[in-house]
Amino acid sequence: MYAPYALRPEESRGRRYPEKPHAYRSDFQRDRDRVVHSRAFRRLESKTQVFTNRESDHFRNRLTHTIEVAQIARTVASALGLNSDLTETLALVHDIGHPPFGHAGEQALDREMRRFSDIFDHNLHALRIVEHFELRYPEFRGLNLTFEVREGIIKHSRDWNANEFPELAEYLLDQRPPLEAQVIDLADELAYNTADLDDGVESGILSIDLIREGLPQFERVWEEVDQNYPEALPKLKFSECLRRILDRMVTDLIHATGHRIRAARIHRASEARQYPERLLGLSAEASAERRAIKQFLHDHLYSSPVLSQDRERLEDVISELFRYWMAHPEDLPLSYQEQLEGEKLERVVCDYIAGMTDNFILREHEARIVEQNRPG
């Protein structure tokens, strides 16, 4: 049963190109399936989450992270009575626009595009993917997703100014996204906060002792687990701590959001859209703990010498290839050369690089930059 403030399938604004209803799947279920079967979704398996040096098979990649976000988002949506199909679809598509090398790749592409008074944003690129680059149907270009999914792609994690981005005007920029879309940003952060602690220890950059010392809330949970399982291996105690922290955060998100919805007297999806601020959120205490984990990760993992050096090297890979294809557009694939009739060269080059996997772009860099600069 949907809560009164959930977005029901029959309330959808529909698709850009009308289609007949499916016999046994709702429009949002069909959108989910189209995302899962897309080429861009499959490429997430070979795109960086945090670690690019795959010394361990257990590090998250962009695809496994997406699956974890979808699990959390479905749980929250179900507990709040939201439309779980729409929420799951938005979770599965939320990172589909990420370039190779994670945030390092996004920063490098954005820096190159700003030289031409433009930007790169992975959510805007995701919209381009589902609208233009996925070619699977003879009737239309793209995946022809419902309005609510396309809106959620760009609005789940930020608000946009209609004056600065007039091309997005159709997406109700003066309103909040539906509650189902609001779930995604927090589900994303809760997923990667605990996952990055896990991968950080797996990598050897972080240690359990460092986390215990740097995060008082983790130490409190550790003491509880140690008391309950004194003979357990440290790695099992660590996993149990992460499980409990994630469970507590998700539970807090459900309860705190339910309280906000009731206090705001939200009874329709349209009322959530019109509310002055987003209603999805943690309590003050849990939000402080979330910020503490995020700051710890920035200080001890993301800014560590190992990842910082790797990030700089990978940003150079993207920048060098970007400038290579700007100087040699004839070396772009024919399908991208054909786009130059209606697009600026820098946007075409950006789109080409953004769609690459880590392995593919490293091969391209080796062939076009390293080999050509090799003496003799």
Q: Name the amino acid, one letter, at 172.
A: L
CA distance 178 to 82: 10
Per-residue tokens: 226: 């140690």
**pLDDT at res. 373:** 75
Collect all residues with Cβ–Cβ distance below 8 Å to 239 and sequence separation of at least 6: 198
Token code pair at residue 305: 């010498």
C-alpha–C-alpha distance, residues 329 and 331, integer Å: 5
Which tokens in the block code for residue 69?
A: 């976000």
| Dist CA 86 CA 184 (whole Å) | 11
Q: Note the pLDDT of residue 139.
A: 94
Picking from 85, 281, 104, the residue whose alpha carbon sits closest to that of residue 182 is 281
User: What span, in angstroms and rounded, lies between the C-alpha atoms of 268 and 286?
Assistant: 27
Is residue 149 within 8 Å of residue 86, measured between CB atoms? yes
Q: Are 50 and 308 in contact (CB under 8 A)?
A: no
- Furthest-apart CA atoms within the chain: distance in Å: 73
Classify 87 as helix, strand or coil.
Answer: helix
Q: How far is CA 88 from CA 36, 183, 321, 347, in A?
A: 11, 10, 35, 30
Instruction: Please tell me the distance from the alpha carbon of residue 112 to that of residue 322, in angstroms, as a whole number.
Output: 8
**Residue pLDDT, tens place only, 97-135:** 999 999 999 999 999 999 999 999 999 999 999 999 999
pLDDT of residue 1: 82
Q: Would you state the structure tokens that stand for residue 16, as one six-digit string?
A: 């850009």
Q: Give CA–CA dist 228/300, Å, rounded.
A: 29
Q: Could you identify the residue written with the tokens 């529909």?
A: 14
> What are the E-state strand segments in the chain?
none
Of 114, 118, 47, the C-alpha closest to 314 is: 47
Residues 6+ positions from 230 with CB-CB distance below 8 Å: none
Angle at 89 between CA 57 and CA 28, to 5 degrees: 150
Contacts 24+ apart (CB under 8 A), 109-115: 109/318, 109/322, 109/350, 109/353, 109/354, 111/315, 111/319, 112/318, 112/319, 112/322, 112/323, 112/346, 112/350, 113/346, 113/347, 113/350, 115/346
Domains plus CATH for the chain? 9-307 (1.10.3210.10), 309-370 (no CATH)
Candidates 294, 285, 284, 287; CA nearest to 215 is 294
Residues 296/214, Cβ–Cβ less than 8 Å: yes
For the entire predicted model, the pTM comes to: 0.95
Name the stretches of the chain with pLDDT < 70: 53-55, 376
Secondary element (H or E) of residue 197: helix 179-203
Q: What is the pLDDT of residue 52?
A: 76
Beta bridge partners of 61: 48
